[in-house]
Amino acid sequence: MNKYLKYISPNLNCIYNIMKINETLGKWENYNIEKGYTEITYSFPNWSALRGDKYKTLTTFNDKGKDLVRAKLQQWEDVANIKFIEVSDEKDTDLKFGMYNNLSEIGNYRSHSVRGFAFHPNNIEKKYKIAESKIEKVEDYTFSGQVWINMSDMNIEYITKSTITPEQQIKVNYFKSKADIIEYSIEEHDKYYILLKNNNARAHIDDSKNVLKEEPYTQKAISHEIGHALGLHHTFTRQQSIDCEENTYKYSIMAYNVPDSSDADHQGMHPLTPQLMDVYAIQATYGQNKSTHIGNTIYGFNSNTKKDYYSLKTSEDKIIACIWDAGGIDTFDFSKYTVDQKIDLSEGGFSDVGGLRANISIAYDTVIENAIGGSKSDIISGNDANNKLSGQCGDDTLYGKGGNDFLYGGEGNDYLYGEQGDDYLYGEQGDDYLIGSDGNDYLYGGEGNDYLWDSAGNNMLDGGLGNDILISSKGDDVLYGGEGNDYLDAGMGNNKLTGGTGYDTFSFNIENNDSSNLITDFESGIDKIFLYKKTDDGNITKKINIVNSNHLNNNEGNLYYDNVNNITNLKINTAEISTPQYLNINLIGKYEYEDLFC
């Protein structure tokens, strides 16, 4: 798993090492050789019955709370090579879940700002207590793997000392007299008081009030504490804390810091899953779960994951998540969003989706093949796999990257870059720019006035409708203008050119061009041939001298009609040196010089 450390930033390396600071005691050692994964038991002890007089608020999860914990355990199991096994509350287990109400004698936690705590794995403690199977009191459970969630719900009031009123002073005195840390708490600072009233003060006594909020912050807190119980540290220590974007929620739910607005914009929302560094660190500890989402999985709109943290229904829905996917042909579908988006399919990459920034990441060693943009102007980047990228509406920019890709611009004026591989680029509606680059590509402009260019390989360029510009470079290409008045530049390869309907221009570079081209549908009086040389100031028109000789000097040409094959051949010496370089322009039909250069 450490193979990725050389690819990630020095800051991420440092964060990873901090998160694994307890590596000597930092994992459960219950690996099942036959099953091929680590088994981790868990339970929901009956803390309410066991707490006695010593522990005031230790509380058992109700059924709804248990389901929430199970869902969070499943998220960790989905990414790591572990299997959680639920056991009855009569036995000690690796993980033990419970709640407390702002005050916990275990760990001596007594602050509303602490939403939970947990103990790391300790296989030594487990080894020595394994024989003590009978549970009669809280202390009979091992501390390692205990996970506690604070169920308090505080009203918070700040009172400034310098402007305190008599009524406020009475209230301060009342809170001081009632302070029990559970229902009433007061914090005194140099310049102000903080008064805290727990709306959930009887939750540890009355089971009907034992309600754990399911909002994202609570969900993140549960996932965070499970991370500790599985062996992960925070992204910082008291001695070491890096001031960088990697030490934030953007990268890890084990972090405390909110990302700076220049690095991410989550609009106050919290991650719904373990984040990029969490997935990396837990997989480095236990290995990867190779059975998660091995089919053709859709994330976002029209999701087939059956998981709300990967599913979107309306354009108002938002998610902050990291995607781990073990196989199949997978798709990001963000088609219903009506904002500009940036979708990045590279592993370790972040996407700006649904009005947030850097809210979707892709775990290392995960391949997402396809992406669908929304109705605004999106930037979509593929990866080294064979991608299918769809811009949909808006003025989109699509990058195929490596692999043999299909790029669809959709409506709007789009920029499509095939880059490496044999790619298919479809501009569709609008005035589009299609750039093929390496590989043997197919470029189709579709509707609108499009610009098609391919720099290498043997390609097919089809302008479709509109007045299009088709430019070949190296390689043997087929250029088809289609409808409209098109400009076809043959470049330096051996090409086949068809203008289609309309007034078309067939353009040829006559500087050191040693190639042979065929024009299939030249029409006298409608189409024309344009000869040029490249200069620093741009292309300039170049005329040639037609001579009745087979010996051609530079910028000289001859015109020959082959009546057997019905081919007119225009042969031009384009060499700038003494060694000839002949550009051959072949046209189906019989033409005179005046027909070609009207």
DSSP string, 312-345: E-STT----EEE---SS--EEE-TT--S--EEE-
Domain that holds residue 578: 507-512+520-598
pTM for this structure?
0.91
72 and 100 both lie in a single domain: yes
How many Cα neighbours within 13 Å face the side chain of 415? 8
The whole-number pLDDT of residue 542 equals 74
Active site residue 125: no
The tokens describing 498, both together, are 């068809």
592 and 564 both lie in a single domain: yes
64: domain CATH number is: 3.40.390.10
At CA 114, angle to CA 245 and CA 143, rounded to 5? 105
Q: Is 170 helix (H, G, I), strand (E, B) or coil?
A: helix
Please write down the HEC assignment for all residues of 35-64.
CCEEEEEEECCCHHHHCCCCCCCCECCCHH
Assess if residue 560 is contained within a domain: yes
E strand spans, 437-581: 442-444, 451-454, 460-462, 469-472, 478-480, 487-489, 496-498, 505-509, 516-519, 528-535, 538-541, 545-546, 556-562, 567-573
> What is the DSSP annotation of 68-127?
HHHHHHHHHHHHBSEEEEE--TTS--SEEEEEEBSBBTGGGB--TT--EEE----HHHHH
Torsion on CA atoms 30, 32, 36, 39, rounded to nearest 10:
-50
Report the candidate in 91, 103, 211, 191 with the shortest Cα–Cα distance to residue 148.
103
Contact 509/491 with Cβ under 8 angstroms? yes
The whole-number pLDDT of residue 547 equals 86
Assess if residue 407 is contained within a domain: no
Matching residue, tokens 């199977």:
133
Contact 254/19 with Cβ under 8 angstroms? yes
107 and 226 both lie in a single domain: yes
* Other Cβ atoms within 10 Å of 308 Cβ, number: 13
Matching residue, tokens 């089971």:
207
177 and 37 both lie in a single domain: no
Catalytic hit among 39, 215, 225, 316? 225
98, 102, 186, 195, 551 from 189: Cα distances, Å? 32, 20, 10, 11, 99
Number of domains within the chain: 3
The whole-number pLDDT of residue 122 equals 83
Assess if residue 81 is contained within a domain: yes
134 and 186 both lie in a single domain: no
The whole-number pLDDT of residue 431 equals 98
Output the CA torsion sign for 29, 32, 36, 38. negative
Contact 588/517 with Cβ under 8 angstroms? no
Bridge partners of 244? Answer: none
Residue 330: left if φ>0, alpha if ψ -120 to 50, beta else—which one? beta
Bridge partners of 39? Answer: 83
Q: Is 169 helix (H, G, I), strand (E, B) or coil?
A: helix
Output the CA torsion sign for 103, 104, 105, 110. negative
Assess if residue 369 is contained within a domain: no
Alpha-carbon span 116 to 65, nearest angstrom: 14
55 and 194 both lie in a single domain: no
Assess if residue 352 is contained within a domain: no
172 and 101 both lie in a single domain: no
The tokens describing 186, both together, are 């007061």
Assess if residue 213 is contained within a domain: yes
Report the candidate in 491, 468, 494, 493 with the shortest Cα–Cα distance to residue 481.
468
The tokens describing 125, both together, are 């403690």
Please write down the HEC assignment for all residues of 213-240.
CCCHHHHHHHHHHHHHHHCCCCCCCCCC
550 and 576 both lie in a single domain: yes
Contact 300/334 with Cβ under 8 angstroms? yes
The tokens describing 489, both together, are 């530049």
Is residue 155 within a helix (H) or strand (E), and if so which, with residue range?
Answer: strand 154-160
Assess if residue 416 is contained within a domain: no
Report the candidate in 492, 491, 517, 519 with the shortest Cα–Cα distance to residue 504.
519
113 and 28 both lie in a single domain: yes
Report the candidate in 19, 31, 99 with the shortest Cα–Cα distance to residue 62.
99
User: Which residues of the chain have a pLDDT value below 50?
Assistant: 1, 6
The tokens describing 139, both together, are 């202390």
% helix, strand, coil for the chain, step of 5: 15, 30, 55
50 and 174 both lie in a single domain: no
The whole-number pLDDT of residue 1 equals 43
What burial letters (b/e) apply to 240-268, b meaning 16+ CB within 10 Å? eebebbbbbbbbbbbbebebeeebbbbee
573 and 587 both lie in a single domain: yes
95 and 58 both lie in a single domain: yes
The tokens describing 413, both together, are 């004026």
Contact 96/122 with Cβ under 8 angstroms? no
Assess if residue 100 is contained within a domain: yes
